[in-house]
């Protein structure tokens, strides 16, 4: 992509643009013109037309480097030729059957070889479903009704997992976070079934878990939560959490739907803590809808139908469908240790370049992330939990200006300045991002 394309003027914002007309059509048949909250940006988003490699082209024909990659799912970028070829071959043989196929066996074998916490795997169609089934498995295995999760952390759209997805605001009398609804109409019984814990607070977390240990089936945690700005769980905190849960017979569930792309064995390999169950998604589907959960064979037997009705029945018309599985298997085989190491080097270069651009511009800020994941924070506050990552109105306005300026300079990133790399990228794309970000800081000031 040439530099002229990178200096596009955001033509999608022009009245009468193709994106404007598509949004007007969408408003008539979709609530708010939208079917996926995360991709909406006021007054309306640019509409994608096509993608190739690291580049995405909008309905106006403007090309931009894509550092969103469908919220981290497309680790090989757009229209990867190897994935496309595998899917095309499978299309000729059928897209879904009321029978299992060899493809699910092969991808499960690959995942159990790579990820420390996996002995057996079960496939779903989304990360939300993977988390949901992990929670159900924990309840069945332990015979306990409640789960615990951390304040402000996002785990998909299952009622129990989304409690206190936004920070709980005023704390309870003991200073600890409260269970609050994320979705209007959430029953009180759902809130009562979830214990909310303070992220990276060993003392508070240990006190709450010990107090409710007899009721808790599982503790659900993302080891590097995107909703907290990709600030990872402190190793000492995570190790102590593993000790506490094991001591009380509580299952530890890792949500690695996003963070699995951080390393060959996921963040659990980086941090050296092995959970009882792991929820996965995104990259393991090669760009197609996917989810999976896995863990020890002892725990996963709650799904086993070979001895009669399983404790946790689990159907799903498109679970482990061969199109997704061949795409995922191809994608994961391409992700060798060497490729992860290359992406890690590019990620380090990008984060360092962004921080240098911030210093040169005199803008307080910092970056977080690991491997191919990064998040830019336009504030200098120490990051430890959700509350420290919350932005003031002025900071949100600054983030929006930088986001819009990056779009105008040929770079797609999320509106919160969270992003990721893909394997079609190299040093030129990282340098282009740093140059665009440096210029966007100046644009935002103007």
- Mean predicted confidence (pLDDT) in 103-120: 98
278 in the same domain as 222: yes
Domain tally for the chain?
2
pLDDT value at 338 more than 70:
yes
Are 293 and 403 part of one and the same domain?
no
Residue 391 clears pLDDT 90, i.e. is over it: no
Catalytic (active-site) positions: 154, 255, 282
CATH number at residue 385: 3.90.1150.10
Contact 377, 389 (CB under 8 A): yes
Please report how many Cα atoms fall inside a 13 Å half-sphere around the Cα of residue 290, on the Cβ side. Answer: 32
d(CA 162, CA 128): 10
Residue 445 — very low, low, confident or very high, per pLDDT cuts 50/70/90?
confident
Averaged pLDDT, 33-45:
92
Q: Where does a domain end: 303, 318, 334?
A: 334
State pLDDT tens for residues 138-193: 999 999 999 999 999 999 999 999 999 987 655 555 678 999 999 999 999 999 99
- Examine the fold and report which residue of 334, 358, 390 is the final residue of a domain before the chain moves on: 334
Residues 188 and 147 in one domain: yes
User: Both 93 and 184 in a single domain?
Assistant: yes
pLDDT at residue 131 in the model: 98
145 shares its domain with 277: yes
Q: Is residue 29 located within the same domain as residue 13?
A: yes
> Rounded to whole angstroms, how far apart are CA atoms 131 and 156?
8
Is 90 exceeded by the pLDDT of residue 8? Answer: no
Question: What is the model's pLDDT at position 125?
Answer: 97
Determine if the pTM surpasses 0.85: yes
CATH number for the domain that contains residue 322? 3.40.640.10
Verify that 101 and 70 share a domain, yes or no: no
pLDDT digits (tens, 9 = 90+) for 217-272: 999 999 999 988 999 999 999 999 999 999 999 999 999 999 999 999 999 999 99
- Final residue before a domain boundary, out of 307, 334, 361: 334
- Mark whether 242 and 330 lie in a shared domain: yes
Q: How confident is residue 307, by pLDDT bands cut at 50, 70 and 90?
A: confident
Q: State whether 227 and 352 are in the same domain.
A: no
Over residues 425-438, the mean pLDDT reads 98
Percent of the chain with pLDDT over 90: 90
DSSP summary character for residue 287: T
Q: Are residues 151 and 92 part of one domain? A: yes
**Do both 191 and 108 map to the same domain?**
yes
Output 386 or 403, whichever has higher pLDDT. Answer: 403
pLDDT at 7 over 50: no
**pLDDT score at 274:** 98
d(CA 330, CA 334): 6
Please give the residue range of the domain that contains residue 224: 81-334
């Amino acid at each position: 992509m040439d530099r002229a394309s990178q200096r596009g003027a955001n033509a999608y914002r022009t009245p009468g643009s193709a994106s404007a007309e598509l949004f007007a059509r969408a408003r008539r048949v979709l609530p708010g013109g939208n079917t996926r909250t995360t991709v909406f940006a006021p007054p309306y988003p640019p509409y994608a037309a096509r993608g190739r490699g690291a580049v995405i082209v909008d309905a106006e024909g403007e090309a931009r480097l894509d550092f969103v990659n469908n919220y981290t799912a497309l680790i090989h970028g757009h229209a990867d030729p190897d994935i496309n070829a595998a899917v095309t071959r499978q299309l000729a043989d059928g897209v879904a059957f009321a029978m299992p196929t060899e493809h699910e066996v092969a991808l499960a074998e690959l995942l159990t070889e790579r990820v420390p916490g996996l002995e057996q795997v079960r496939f779903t169609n989304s990360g939300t479903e993977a988390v949901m089934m992990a929670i159900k498995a924990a309840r069945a295995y332990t015979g306990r009704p409640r789960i615990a999760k951390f304040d402000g952390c996002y785990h998909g759209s299952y009622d129990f997992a989304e409690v206190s997805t936004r920070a709980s605001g005023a704390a309870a009398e003991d200073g600890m976070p409260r269970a609050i609804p994320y979705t209007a109409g959430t029953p009180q019984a759902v809130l009562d079934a979830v214990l909310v814990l303070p992220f990276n607070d060993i003392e508070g977390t240990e006190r709450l878990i010990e107090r409710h240990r007899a009721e808790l089936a599982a503790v659900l945690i993302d080891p590097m939560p995107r909703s907290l700005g990709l600030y990872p769980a402190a190793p000492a905190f995570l190790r102590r959490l593993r000790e506490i849960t094991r001591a009380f017979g509580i299952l530890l569930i890792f949500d690695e739907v996003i963070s699995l792309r951080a390393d060959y064995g996921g963040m659990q390999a980086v941090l050296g803590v092995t959970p009882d169950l792991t929820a996965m998604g995104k990259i393991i589907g090669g760009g197609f809808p996917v989810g999976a959960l896995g863990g020890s064979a002892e725990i996963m037997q709650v799904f086993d139908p070979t001895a009669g009705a399983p404790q946790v029945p689990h159907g799903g018309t498109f679970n482990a469908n061969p199109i997704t599985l061949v795409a995922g298997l191809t994608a994961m085989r391409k992700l060798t240790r060497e490729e992860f190491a290359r992406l890690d080097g590019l990620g380090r270069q990008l984060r360092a370049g962004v921080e240098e651009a911030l210093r040169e511009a005199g803008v307080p800020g910092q970056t977080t992330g690991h491997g191919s994941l990064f998040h830019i924070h336009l504030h200098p506050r120490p990051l430890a939990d959700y509350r420290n990552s919350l932005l003031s109105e002025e900071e949100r306005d600054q983030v929006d200006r930088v986001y819009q300026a990056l779009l105008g300079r040929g770079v797609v990133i999320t509106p919160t300045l969270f992003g990721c790399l893909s394997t079609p990228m190299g040093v030129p794309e990282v340098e282009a991002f740093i140059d665009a970000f440096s210029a966007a800081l100046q644009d935002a000031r103007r």
